[in-house]
Amino acid sequence: MDNLKQAVQAQIDHIQQKTGRSFAELSAMVTDSGLTQHSRLRDMFMRELNLTYGDANALVHAILQSDGTRAAEAKGLSGDAVLDEIYTGPKASLRPIHAALMAEIVTFGEFETLPKKGYVSLRRKKQFAMIGPGNNTWVEVGINSKDLAADARLLEQPGHAMCNYVVRVTDPAQVDTTLIGWIRTAFEGAG
């Protein structure tokens, strides 16, 4: 079993311990709810079992046996094709920001790029960043690093979010040494 699968299984084991329910019981909650949309199931688990966003999200993926990576693979997408899909239509103008970010990040060392439905996840032993369009006017850079020095550009996220901080980038010129430094700190902490 690879590190990612082990991490997912450890998270599911933790959820079962925390809730006192078996995976079968948690799966039955999905069936009994009649809900099919991922976000609604996630919200149900957060509300009814007091799970964090990350735990509820992972649980829904495990129960539905789906994740953004498999969704991209199901469409036959990988590499540049994923980016073509993510940065399409009005979001196409944001692709140079993504390219500028990746040109800097690849100099850090080895890491995995995992395509998801609307963004890419960057991982070492754990996820250190997420990059994708926040809307039609900015790229959202999620950064997993604790206790970065306060800065107006760093938007601290709630404890249950998938990243500790988000930075909204509207122009490739904003991919500066400060932003890259924050991402490098997250990279080094993920390894």
Residue 82 has pLDDT above 80, yes or no: no
Mean pLDDT, the chain, rounded, equals 84
Same domain, 109 and 155: yes
Instruction: Identify whether 159 is part of a domain.
Output: yes
Q: In which domain, by residue range, is 146 found? A: 80-189
Name the band, by pLDDT with cuts 50, 70 and 90, for residue 77: very low
* % of the chain residues with pLDDT over 70: 89
Instruction: Identify whether 136 is part of a domain.
Output: yes
Same domain, 43 and 85: no
Residue 180 has pLDDT above 90, yes or no: yes
Domain count, the chain: 2
Same domain, 52 and 143: no
pLDDT digits (tens, 9 = 90+) for 133-168: 989 999 999 999 987 998 999 999 887 777 899 999
Domain boundary, last residue among 66, 90, 117: 66
Same domain, 89 and 160: yes
pTM of the model: 0.62
DSSP conformation letters of 129-172: EEEEESSSS-EEEEE--SSPPP-TT-EEPPTTSSSSEEEEE-SG
Q: How far is CA 186 from CA 48, 65, 88, 145, 180, in A?
A: 32, 29, 28, 5, 10
Same domain, 88 and 165: yes
Instruction: Identify whether 175 is part of a domain.
Output: yes
Who wins on pLDDT, 182 or 117?
Answer: 182
Provide the token pair at 18.
């925390």
Instruction: Identify whether 111 is part of a domain.
Output: yes
Same domain, 30 and 93: no
Same domain, 173 and 132: yes
C-alpha–C-alpha distance, residues 144 and 190, integer Å: 8
Same domain, 92 and 160: yes
- Which run of H or E residues covers position 186? helix 177-189
